[in-house]
Structure 1
Amino acid sequence: MKQPKIKIPKTLLETIFDAIGITFYLLAIIYLAMVFGGLPDRVPGHFNGAGEVDRWGSKMELIILPLVGGGLWLLFTVLEKYPHVYNYINLREDNLEAQYRNGRLMLNVLKNEIVLFFSMITYSMIQIAQGEAEGLGRIFLPVFLGIILVSLFVFMFRMVRM
């Protein structure tokens, strides 16, 4: 079944989430730009599952996370405009708009969670490079994965219930 295209205006909640995500993203970039010249040549390049630095690299590598985070944010923003191409469970004519809104909100939430985490990691990498911290901490990875998985579960649950 070819899913119909319908125009659904962006909600206030999606706009608020975007504003929060972009604000933290821009703050991370501004902070990186402000301290970049004073950073040591070696900065954390990778972390193990316990949040400990397991590879050091050039400070130029600090630019990678904001680029990837910004790229993912843009990609998800484009995908939000096409909810009719997503895969749905239980899609019917009477719940079409609600399913599209739910799918689009799911992408919006995931996109902003990802950009927030990338911003946090960028900030943490700078702190570690400056000797202000030792690692991300043991709970960073479980919390990150937990938030993403709980978000997915909530939206999938909502989709099935519609």
Structure 2
Amino acid sequence: MIKQPAINVPKSLFAIFLDWVTLLLFLAVIIYLVVQYPSLPDQVPGHYDSSGMVDRWGSKIEMWILPLVGAGLWVLMTIVEKYPHTFNYINLRQDNLEAQYRNAKLMINVLKNESVLLFSFLIFQDIRVANGAAEGLGYFFMPVFLFVIFGSMIIFLIRMLRM
């Protein structure tokens, strides 16, 4: 196994912007959950099927799972983002090393933020469904989510191959 050099590649302004926007939205949704929690019914959505409809109801204490998982995901992916020299690359060369590391760091950052924004949406929508303001996630939730996540990965893989 070839050891890739560890070089310091600063976080881009775009990545910093995404982090702040995502953190602010995630924090706002958690505050919304804290405010709404006392008025939530005892049974809240616990799981959704592929069409976005609730297929399991659970205790309202389960509402704290998504914020915990989202925060844990944020922390872990932020740590991973700092070590692009440990990733696998297809065409890593000395002349494109820094550009490849920048691309990989940004890809992890974008996927991290998309994932945490997904958790934010799910928390918000769980509250709405529990309160009777919505019936589910909607039929287009899963295709849109998959398109965004896989579309982002494809864009960054194409960028990597072009370098």
Q: Same fold (TM over 0.5)?
A: yes
Task: Give the % identical residues.
Answer: 57
With the length of structure 2 as denominator, give the TM-score of the two structures.
0.98
Measure how far apart 1:9 and its partner are. 1.3
Q: Which amino acid aligns with 2:20?
A: A
Tell me the residue number matched to 1:62.
63
Q: CA separation in 1, counterparts of 2:67 and 2:97?
A: 35
Say yes or no: does 1:34 pair with 2:38: no
Q: CA separation in 2, counterparts of 1:120 and 1:157?
A: 28
Q: CA separation in 1, counterparts of 2:9 and 2:118?
A: 28
Structure 2 residue runs without a partner (length 5+): none
Deviations 1:31-74 (A, max 9, x none): 00001011000000000000000000000111001110110111
Q: CA separation in 2, counterparts of 1:135 and 1:10?
A: 37
- Count of aligned positions: 162
* 1:109-148 pair list within 5 angstroms: 109-148=110-149
With the length of structure 1 as denominator, give the TM-score of the two structures.
0.99
Measure how far apart 1:24 and its partner are. 1.1
Structure 1 residue runs without a partner (length 5+): none
Tell me the residue number matched to 2:53.
52
Q: Which amino acid aligns with 2:150?
A: L
Tell me the residue number matched to 1:82.
83
SS in structure 1 at match of 2:58: strand
Tell me the residue number matched to 1:72.
73
Deviations 1:123-148 (A, max 9, x none): 00000000000000000011011100
